[in-house]
Chains A and B, each alone.
Chain A
Amino acid sequence: MTITNGRTVPSGTDKEQQHPEAPRRPSGVGFGRWWWALPAVALTLVVTYMSTAFGAFFAFTDWTGLGDFNFVGVDNFIQVFQDPALLGSVRNTLFLAGGFVVFTNILGLLFALALNRTLKTRFLLRALIFMPVVLSSVAVSFIWKFIFAFDGPLNQALEAVGLGQFKQDWLANPALALWCVLAVMVWQSIGFVMVIYLAGLATVPVELEEAAALDGAGIWQIFRSITLPTIQPSVAIATVLTLIQGLSVFDQVLTLTGGGPGDATQTLATQIYTQTFLYGAFGLGAAAALVLTVFILILALIQQFTVRDRANIGD
Chain B
Amino acid sequence: MSYFSSSRRGWFTVAATAVVGSVALSGCGGSTSTAPTGSEPQTIKFSFSTANPTDTFLQDTAAAFEKANPGTKIELVKLPAETEPQTVTTQLQGGNAADVMNIRSGQGQIGAMNGFAKAGLLLELNDAEFSDRLPQSIEDLFKYEDKFYAVPLSSMPTGLIFNEAKAKELGVTLNADSSFDDFLDQCKVARDKGVSLAALAGTVPGNPGIMTLMLASSTVYGPNPDWNADRAAGKTTFADDKGWQQALEGVKQMFDAGCFQDGAAGAGFDTLISSMGQGKALGFFAPGGAAKSIADGSKGAVNPVVVPMPAPGVSEKYLGTTAELALAGNAKTKSPTLVKKFLKFFMDKQGAEMVAKGQGTLPVNLGDYALPASYAPIAELYKEDKVRPLPQTDWPSAKVYDSLGKGVTAMITGQKSGADVLKEMDTAWGK
Contacts and interface: CB of A to CB of B under 8 A. Distances in A.
Given A67-B120, A145-B268, A169-B263, A280 B204 contact: no
B398 A150 contact: no
A174 B412 CA distance: 11
Contacts of A67: 115, 118-121
B136 interface: no
B89 interface: yes
A261 B409 contact: yes
Contact of A151 (B116, B263, B413): B263
Contact of B407 (A148, A257, A258, A262): A262
A41 to B, nearest CB: 27
Contact of A66 (B92, B397, B402, B416): B92
Nearest to B405: A260
A136 interface: no
B209 to A, nearest CB: 13
B126 interface: no
A49 to B, nearest CB: 22
Contact of A172 (B118, B265, B407): B265
Given A261-B266, A277-B110, A280-B115, A172 B202 contact: yes
Nearest to A264: B415
Interface in A51-76: 64-68
A172 B119 contact: no
Interface in A133-187: 145, 148-151, 169-174, 177
Give the interface residue-count category, chain A: 20 to 34
B27 to A, nearest CB: 13
B408 to A, nearest CB: 10
A309 interface: no
A262 B415 contact: yes
Contacts, number: 99
B348 interface: no
Contacts of B397: 279-280
B380 interface: no
B110 A258 contact: no
A172 B262 CA distance: 11
B314 interface: no
- The residue in A68, A145, A274, A279 that gathers the most chain B C-beta atoms within 10 A of its C-beta is A279
Given A172-B413, A174-B415, A260-B203, A279 B398 contact: yes
Contacts of B407: 262
A278 to B, nearest CB: 6
Given A66-B118, A172-B202, A264-B415, A148 B266 contact: yes
B150 to A, nearest CB: 15
A257 B262 contact: no
Given A65-B89, A258-B203, A261-B413, A280 B116 contact: no
Contacts of A171: 203, 266
A263 interface: yes
Nearest to B398: A279
B399 interface: yes
A66 B116 contact: yes
Interface of A: 64-68, 145, 148-151, 169-174, 177, 257-258, 260-264, 274, 277-280
Given A149-B267, A261-B203, A279-B399, 13 more contacts: A66-B89, A67-B115, A150-B261, A150-B267, A151-B263, A169-B262, A172-B203, A172-B264, A173-B413, A177-B266, A262-B415, A264-B410, A280-B110
9 contacts: A65-B93, A149-B263, A169-B263, A172-B203, A174-B415, A257-B266, A261-B202, A277-B110, A280-B89
Can you list the 7 inter-chain pairs with the closest CB atoms, starting with the nearest?
Answer: A150-B263, A262-B410, A172-B266, A67-B119, A172-B265, A171-B266, A66-B119
